[in-house]
């Protein structure tokens, strides 16, 4: 019997969660939003998702093979997640080569160039979206109404309308469909495929909370900050008259706060660090929405905060037990 | 009734305690042969005072403590000394040991009930403990007479009985508290008396309701006996590693032992249940430390049980006595499944340090491939010392040992909670051990 005995360092029991399991759980949690995207904008959304995911996985396989590392890691769920999130960040009418180019960039440049899973500084899906935004701004800002609205093509998102109105442009005379809170919550509005149906996103987020895959620190801090700042400064009747609910239901805030800002690799390690991260994202989102040329600021604020994470981690390293 | 107390961090593994928690401790198994190592404690090895051919009685001295931080060693069975030779041991590798063969003579040590023991002065009590070779039975085996003699500038106000027993599978302390609460309470009184402590706590995790009940009954009788001494049974939230000294103190008193410090730095002394029971036996029955309760469990055991083990019993003999294996083991762990030490042979003697032996079959052994760290932060959440294991791991990987030291790696006590929870199955504990060991040589 002695010859068969295994000698190893402990612990000799381990928790059952795995990296793969976590990645696929997040993909699973995004399914409701995907179904909503197809239901609201049509079958093209599904094509965009499938093309994006396939390209992401193929790109990762190719790069891993080129790097002569473990190719099976392409199926660990992280490339699929990146592809899916990239598709969710596209407008519904975008030509189908857009997700191809975006996914290649997201995986090859946004992730693999840094060393692959665990080493990237920026959220790959957002890096892909930013690249597309800068290279093809017209495609990336041509919106559609939900399928059931008679004028199905060419409209603007609620935030874009607001931005136009604030500049005194044609938006002032534009008559959009009325956006009640229910419309914003259920997705009866223009926007990106995966961001419009806040209800579906919340279902997915609830699943992630229950499985303890995400915690409240980033999303709640992020959303509360946007809500508070919008209430204080975005109103027409002076200080503290802003419509906070409107601003947290519009744009990609729900998608960004629950699914992209919470990405493990690109967010801080500690609870304190995460709160700072959420705060920073919130402030930047508000600033970009109010003062910049863009109507929407979620993707850029998360990318900017991603770059601050090593600094945040350094200064929020836990003060360990017994340290004076 | 006190509210549930806890410390930061920790993990919740399945307990696997039901296999043995409900059964009473089996009577001592008297083996035909024992191998008693002269080093079973932290400190210097004892020096043999017998030689081959000598006749010994159970309880007679066979090894004398060498130096202050050392412990006496006694014969655990009556018989003849076969040889003084090196033996494998569960923890210390090969150690000089006394090999004794039974001669069929009376195997019980002379036990004389000392009814007036409660009135003994401190110095006499300490001397009895030293003579009896009592060491910490929680695993570290630190000589108890040294632990109970803190320097004058570190006054002790609190004595804590550590009944947490947080490792899965192990139930020896729990059963002792259920079956011998009176003796444990008396032993605890002795410890409090030696240290002049004003507060006495009995810390028990909330997954041991019977033990809590038994000790609560004792504590009310104790309170009646001793004027001015505060005694309390404190229920602690069940999580690993609640049983670590520093975590018990944190949960009970919300005080943190300073970095690289000891409990006495915050005026506390923590004692294991088995140790306190041994103190009772030494003082009230004049019985030296020659046997202790051990949990023998794991999926391979036909009849997992808690059993009183004579020090030096060979593991092989013990397993045979308990009915052998129902599956062939591929891992033998001495201790618990978190911090236990795997054995490379079944031919080891069970020493004073051994509180549990677990046998795992092939199908229960995981061989996980190390994956890349995804910075999920679960290890940071789990570490009871509030360290950042992933940061330390990266430093150790890059051989930045001094930076690891500056980030607190020296305070890691290798509980394994980080490696348990890591979804990427990174062997974090390996890195911690490597980094800490390296620091001992570098600086």
Q: Is the ipTM of this complex over 0.85?
A: yes
- At B277-332, the pLDDT tens digits run 999 999 999 899 999 999 999 999 999 999 999 999 999 999 999 999 999 999 99
pLDDT of the residue at A142: 86
The distance of B418 to chain A (nearest Cα, Å) reads 9
- At B381-413, the pLDDT tens digits run 999 999 999 999 999 999 999 999 999 999 999
- At A144-164, the pLDDT tens digits run 888 887 765 666 778 777 777
Q: Which residues of A touch B241 (CB under 8 A)?
A: none
- Mean pLDDT calculated for residue range B108-123: 78
A323 touches chain B (CB under 8 A): yes
Instruction: Indicate the average pLDDT of chain A.
Output: 89
Strands B73-74 and B95-102: unpaired
CA distance A301 to A318: 25
Which residue of A7, A18, A319 is in closest CB contact with B342?
A: A7
CA distance B412 to B241: 12
Q: Which residues of B touch A319 (CB under 8 A)?
A: 386
Categorise residue B100: left if φ over 0, alpha if ψ from -120 to 50, beta otherwise.
beta
In A, minimum Cα distance to B364 occurs at A13
pLDDT of the residue at A287: 92
A90 band by pLDDT with thresholds 50, 70 and 90: very high
Inter-chain touch A322–B411, beta carbons under 8 Å = yes
- What's the predicted TM-score (pTM) here? 0.90
- Mean pLDDT calculated for residue range B158-172: 93
CA distance A105 to A125: 9
- Mean pLDDT calculated for residue range A257-279: 96
Cis before residue B33, ω within 30 degrees of 0?
A: no
Number of C-beta neighbours around residue B85 at 10 A: 12
Percent of chain B exceeding pLDDT 90 equals 72
Which is more confident, B291 or B224?
Answer: B291
- Mean pLDDT calculated for residue range A104-127: 94
In B, minimum Cα distance to A5 occurs at B330
A4 touches chain B (CB under 8 A): yes
Length of chain B: 443
Cis before residue B305, ω within 30 degrees of 0?
A: no
pLDDT of the residue at A175: 43
- At A10-30, the pLDDT tens digits run 799 999 999 999 999 999 999
A61, A71 contact by CB (below 8 A): yes
Q: Which residues of B touch A10 (CB under 8 A)?
A: 337-342, 416, 419, 429
The distance of A53 to chain B (nearest Cα, Å) reads 21
Query: Is the pLDDT assigned to residue B98 strictly greater than 60?
Result: yes
B441 band by pLDDT with thresholds 50, 70 and 90: confident
pLDDT of the residue at A166: 65
CA distance A44 to A32: 17
For B103-208, where are the alpha helices, taking DSSP H only?
A: 122-131, 144-147, 172-179, 181-195
Which residue of B246, B381, B420 is in closest CB contact with A15?
A: B420
The distance of B296 to chain A (nearest Cα, Å) reads 16
Inter-chain touch B387–A320, beta carbons under 8 Å = yes
Chain A and chain B share a number of CB contacts under 8 A equal to 156
Element (H, E) at B381: helix B378-382
CA distance B198 to B68: 27
Find residues 260-279 of chain A whose CB sits inside 8 Å of chain B.
264-265, 267-271
Number of C-beta neighbours around residue A70 at 10 A: 14
CA distance A252 to B79: 81
Name every residue whose Cβ is closer than 8 Å to that of residue A62 and which is 6 or more positions away in sequence. none
Which residue of A4, A22, A318 is in closest CB contact with B330?
A: A4
Inter-chain touch A14–B424, beta carbons under 8 Å = no
């Amino acid at each position: 019997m002695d010859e068969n005995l295994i000698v190893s360092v402990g612990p000799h029991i381990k928790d059952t969660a795995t990296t793969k399991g976590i990645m696929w759980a997040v993909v699973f949690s995004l399914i409701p939003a995907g179904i909503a995207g197809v239901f609201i904008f049509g079958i093209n959304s599904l094509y965009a998702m499938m093309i994006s995911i396939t390209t992401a996985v193929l790109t990762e396989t190719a790069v891993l093979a080129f790097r002569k590392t473990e190719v099976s890691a392409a199926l660990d769920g992280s490339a699929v997640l990146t592809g899916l999130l990239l598709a969710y960040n596209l407008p519904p009418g975008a030509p189908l080569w857009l997700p191809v180019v975006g996914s290649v960039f997201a995986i090859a440049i946004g992730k693999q160039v840094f060393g692959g899973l665990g080493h990237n500084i920026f959220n790959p899906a957002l890096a892909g979206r930013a690249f597309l935004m800068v290279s093809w701004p017209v495609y990336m800002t041509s919106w559609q109404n939900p399928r059931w609205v008679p004028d199905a093509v060419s409209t603007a998102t609620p935030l874009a309308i607001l931005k136009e109105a604030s500049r005194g442009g044609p938006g002032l005379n534009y008559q959009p469909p009325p956006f009640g809170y229910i419309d914003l919550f259920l997705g009866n509005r223009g926007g990106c495929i995966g961001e419009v149906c806040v209800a579906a996103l919340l279902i997915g987020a609830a699943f992630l909370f229950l499985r303890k895959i995400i915690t409240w620190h980033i999303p709640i801090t992020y959303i509360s900050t946007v809500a508070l700042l919008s209430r204080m400064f975005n109103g027409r009747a002076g200080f503290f008259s802003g419509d906070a609910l409107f601003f947290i239901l519009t744009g990609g805030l729900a998608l960004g706060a629950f699914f992209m800002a919470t990405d493990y690799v690109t967010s801080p390690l500690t609870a304190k660090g995460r709160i700072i991260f959420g705060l920073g994202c919130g402030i930047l989102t508000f600033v970009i929405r109010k003062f910049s040329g863009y109507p929407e600021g979620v993707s850029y604020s998360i990318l900017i905060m991603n770059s601050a994470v090593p600094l945040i981690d350094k200064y929020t390293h836990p003060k360990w037990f017994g340290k004076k | 009734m006190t509210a549930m107390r806890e410390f930061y961090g920790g993990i919740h593994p399945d307990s696997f305690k039901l296999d043995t928690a409900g059964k009473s401790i089996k009577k001592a198994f008297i083996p035909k042969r024992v191998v008693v190592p002269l080093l079973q404690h932290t400190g210097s090895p004892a020096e043999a005072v017998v030689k081959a051919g000598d006749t010994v009685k159970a309880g007679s001295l066979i090894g004398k403590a060498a130096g202050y931080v050392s412990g006496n060693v006694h014969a655990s069975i009556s018989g003849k000394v076969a040889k003084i030779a090196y033996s494998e041991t569960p923890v210390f590798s090969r150690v000089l040991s006394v090999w004794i063969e039974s001669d069929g003579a009376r195997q019980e040590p002379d036990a004389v009930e000392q009814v007036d023991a409660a009135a003994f002065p401190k110095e006499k009590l300490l001397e009895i403990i030293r003579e009896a070779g009592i060491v910490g039975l929680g695993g570290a085996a630190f000589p108890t007479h040294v632990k109970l003699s803190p320097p004058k500038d570190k006054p002790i106000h609190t004595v804590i009985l550590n009944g947490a027993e947080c490792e899965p599978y192990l139930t020896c302390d729990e059963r002792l508290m259920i079956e011998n609460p009176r003796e444990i309470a008396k032993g605890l009184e002795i410890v409090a008396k030696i240290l002049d402590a004003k507060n006495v706590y009995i810390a028990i995790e909330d997954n041991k309701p019977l033990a809590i009940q038994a000790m609560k009954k004792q504590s009310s009788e104790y309170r009646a006996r001793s004027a001015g001494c505060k005694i309390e049974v404190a229920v602690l939230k069940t999580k690993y590693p609640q049983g670590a000294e520093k975590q018990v103190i944190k949960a009970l008193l919300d005080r943190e032992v300073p970095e690289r410090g000891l409990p006495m730095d915050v005026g506390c002394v923590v004692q294991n249940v088995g140790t306190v029971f041994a103190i009772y036996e030494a003082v009230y029955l004049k019985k030296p430390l020659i046997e202790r309760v051990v949990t023998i469990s794991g999926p391979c055991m036909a009849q997992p049980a808690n059993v009183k083990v004579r020090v030096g019993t060979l593991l092989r003999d013990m397993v045979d006595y308990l009915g052998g294996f129902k599956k062939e083991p591929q891992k033998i762990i001495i201790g618990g499944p978190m911090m236990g030490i795997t054995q490379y042979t079944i031919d080891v003697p069970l020493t004073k340090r051994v509180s549990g032996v677990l046998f795992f079959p092939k199908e229960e052994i995981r061989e996980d491939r190390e994956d890349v760290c995804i910075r999920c932060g679960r290890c940071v959440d789990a570490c009871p010392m509030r360290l950042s294991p992933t940061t330390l791991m990266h430093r150790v990987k890059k051989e930045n040992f001094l930076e690891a030291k500056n980030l607190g790696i020296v305070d890691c006590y290798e509980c394994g909670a980080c490696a348990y929870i890591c979804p990427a199955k990174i062997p974090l504990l390996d890195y911690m051990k490597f980094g800490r060991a390296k620091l001992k040589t570098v600086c």
